[in-house]
A and B are shown apart, each in its own frame.
Chain A
Amino acid sequence: MATDAGIILEYGRTRKKKRDWRGFVFQLLFLFPAVFFLGLFMFYPIEETFRLSLMRASGLGDTVYIGLENYVKLFTNEEFQQGLLHVFAWAFWSVVIQIPLAFFIAFSLIAFKNKLTSKLRAIYYLASIIPSAIVAMLGRFIFSPRNGVISSLAARWNWTWLANIDFFGDSRLAFWTVFAVATWTYIGFYIVYQMANIEQIPVDIYEAALLDGATRWQYARYVVIPMISYPLRICAILCTVGSLKLFDLPWLLTFGGPGYATTTLGIILYKQGFINAMYGRASAIGVIIFLLSLIFTVTQFSLQRKEGEIEW
């Protein structure tokens, strides 16, 4: 046995040496396209963004090295401070409002299952696949100050207090108006995702809970939520990272205004890069978004690993 094993080992070693060399070449060959395109379209732009964030660059004329000046200017700029505050507020309220609301709808659809469930699931999901431009148009159609659905109905019913509300123009309300439109469109994904996870829970657990005298909401509170806590955490991380990159809806609905009431890091980056032609400053914002996203992504992976260890 020992001799056989030795022969096999020896054979394996000699074969392995030759196979390794060929395998290595093949691995390189097969990896090359992916590595090349990743390098060209991902790592190189990231490196360039970091480099440019230390420069004063308008695209025309010289590019001057200015160290960390772009970052210093950003952190002392009111618009940037507001943008940073808004993305964190957006992330917080998304987690606090959107995910529980999505869970409530997802659980209700399953707990009170009937022939409308699949249609409702499709309707909720539909909102999340509509392009942002159309969502923004719908948002304006509803909240527009003069011809919007709300102001028109309020005027017809003589509810002047409601008709006089300026949803996009009042700096105290604009953030929440945009957030409401976003919640309507983003929630569909979380509903479907959570429904898929709730449906994975074996029926006998539900039956056992019923036998123990649990109501549907007790079942949700003490069984479903703990069992889908991992997918809920993934939803929370997706919400947070999505908030950091937020651009489309606030831009399309309010251009980040009035004043800086709905501005986000994405909007400031776009304005600095594509309108103000300040590429260095725009790159610095890009780096900040990248680093913040990286922190949350690493958190996501570490949570995943931790979860894996628990299961193991």
Chain B
Amino acid sequence: MTRKRISLLASFFLLVALTAGLLLPISAAGKVKLTVWGIDLPDDDPAHAYAKALVNGFKAKNPDIELDYVALGNDGLKDKVKVCMASNSGLPDIFQSWGGSVMGSYADAGRLLDLTKELKDIKCSEAARQAMTWKGKTYGVAPFFAIAGVFVNEGLFKAHGLKVPTTIDEFEKVCEALKAKGIQPLACGAKDKWPVLAMYMYLVDRFGGINAFADAAARKARFDGEAFVKAAQLYQKWVKAGYFGSKPLGEAYGDAQVLMATGKAGMHVTGSWMCAQYSSKEFTDQTIGFYAFPVLPGGKGKETDIMGMTDIGYAATRVAAGKKDAVVRFMKYAMSVEACSAEPGRICSVPGVKAPSRLTEMAAGVFAKAKAVQFWWDQDLPASVSSPLNDALQNIMMPEADVAKALAQYEELVTEMMGPVKKK
């Protein structure tokens, strides 16, 4: 009798266990899992405020979606996405992307999810939509946009009776005046290579116009053409004149920020992502403003030609084809006024989001006047030639370097990778 009772009890527990085992996956299956790879941690760092608002807000508003947000850092994200795209394995549903041709190469390889129809009603600036569109198809959203411009230490300028330059001649005069006062005219951070690019893009534009780069990238012109060489020579002339201080190649981007923040440098040509830090009273006690890059009298470029690109964007991969609804809900929330309002510095692409600081407002003002927007070259060119571009540009900061030779070598590489210049 006892044995029978025990076996009955055991059978009952077995049945309960089996039923629970069968039911659990069903309840878990009701929740869609969305894997998102980003750069910033959703933590309390003020610079990560948007990532935190996005992750926490999305989780709270979408309890039926299990969000697995993985923060990989800038280089970590780039490397991991590149490797996973190449091997077509281990891809997330959504990844942070700057759009442009890098995203385009993934789209061409069939790795991305076409969301043109689903995202067409999202309100945003045209530049932001274009950045996430490749060959007529939209693959994601770009809630924040960054433009390059001139950060000016207005306090220093006022103290020394200087005016914010609007032409290259004025720019050189201001640099000379600052140098005479013992202030480094320009902060750069050339040790890290990529910070050299922002000013060079503008100089090429001011010499050759907005099409100078576009033509070279489309292989209608060479990268060692007149505008490129003249811009590099002018850049090198400024290095030799000491506008970037006595140790331009020894200073990293972080050093450049410190120079601006402590009033040791007068200007910094870089991206508007610095608005948050240059507005922060904890970071700097200087009064800093944001202005458009000066024009070159007689040059082809205009003040309204702006260099810029997606600052934060998200693109979806084909892995998420079966959960399009969850992906679209994430994209829409990423573009919501609620999430975007948490950002302390970047220029927002979403209408209705108030600029968080005077600096961001100034940068947004410059962006609003833009008639032509050119994407960051190192994001817009294929990966095989983007890093060598930054190497070549660091060369022009070396006083002894032959800039024409450095650009000719770069053109050789572009010819190999992207083909020769097409004859008209």
A254 to B252, CA, bound (A): 9
Contact A275 B383 (CB under 8 A): yes
Contacts A60-B109, A168-B250, A277-B383 given; does A257 touch B82 at CB 8 Å: no
Contact B108 A60 (CB under 8 A): yes
A73 part of interface (Cβ distance < 8 Å): yes
CB distance from A170 to the nearest CB of B (A): 7
A241 to B254, CA, bound (A): 35
Contact with A along B122-157 (1 / 0, CB 8 A): 000000000000000000000000000000000000
CB within 8 A of A258: which of B108, B191, B409? B191
Contact B394 A145 (CB under 8 A): no
Contacts A146-B255, A254-B191, A277-B82 given; does A59 touch B87 at CB 8 Å: yes
A278 to B108, CA, bound (A): 17
B420 part of interface (Cβ distance < 8 Å): no
CB within 8 A of A145: which of B82, B255, B383, B409? B255
| Interface residue tally for chain B (C-beta within 8 Å) | 40
Contact A146 B247 (CB under 8 A): yes
A213: which B residues are within 8 A, CB to CB? none
A257 to B248, CA, bound (A): 12
Task: Please list the residues of chain B having a beta carbon within 8 angstroms of any beta carbon in chain A.
Answer: 78-79, 82-83, 85-87, 105-106, 108-109, 111, 190-193, 246-251, 255, 258-259, 383-388, 391, 394-395, 397-398, 400-401, 409, 416
CB distance from B395 to the nearest CB of A (A): 5
A167: which B residues are within 8 A, CB to CB? 250
Q: Which of chain A's residues has its CB closest to B86's CB?
A: A59
CB within 8 A of A259: which of B255, B385, B395? B395
A171: which B residues are within 8 A, CB to CB? 249, 398, 400
A79 part of interface (Cβ distance < 8 Å): yes
| Most chain B CB inside 10 Å of its own CB: which residue of A58, A61, A79, A260 | A58
Q: Which of chain A's residues has its CB closest to B413's CB?
A: A77
CB within 8 A of A274: which of B82, B85, B87, B400? B82
A169 part of interface (Cβ distance < 8 Å): yes
CB within 8 A of A164: which of B246, B386, B387? B246
B82: which A residues are within 8 A, CB to CB? 59, 274, 277
Interface size for chain A: under 10, 10 to 19, 20 to 34, or 35 or more residues?
Answer: 20 to 34
| Most chain A CB inside 10 Å of its own CB: which residue of B78, B250, B409 | B250
Task: Please list the residues of chain A having a beta carbon within 8 angstroms of any beta carbon in chain B.
Answer: 58-61, 73, 78-79, 144-147, 164, 166-171, 254-255, 257-260, 271, 274-279
Q: Name 11 extra pairs, CB < 8 A, besides A146-B255, A171-B400.
A: A58-B384, A59-B83, A59-B85, A144-B250, A145-B250, A145-B255, A255-B191, A257-B391, A276-B385, A277-B383, A277-B384
Contact B387 A276 (CB under 8 A): yes
Which 5 A-B pairs give the minimum distances between C-beta atoms?
A59-B86, A169-B250, A169-B249, A145-B250, A166-B247
B258: which A residues are within 8 A, CB to CB? 146
Contact A168 B395 (CB under 8 A): no
Contact A277 B191 (CB under 8 A): no
Q: Which of chain B's residues has its CB closest to A171's CB?
A: B398
Contact A78 B387 (CB under 8 A): no
CB within 8 A of A60: which of B106, B192, B247, B409? B106
Contact B388 A276 (CB under 8 A): yes
Contact B192 A255 (CB under 8 A): yes
Q: Which of chain B's residues has its CB closest to A276's CB?
A: B384
Q: Which of chain A's residues has its CB closest to B110's CB?
A: A60
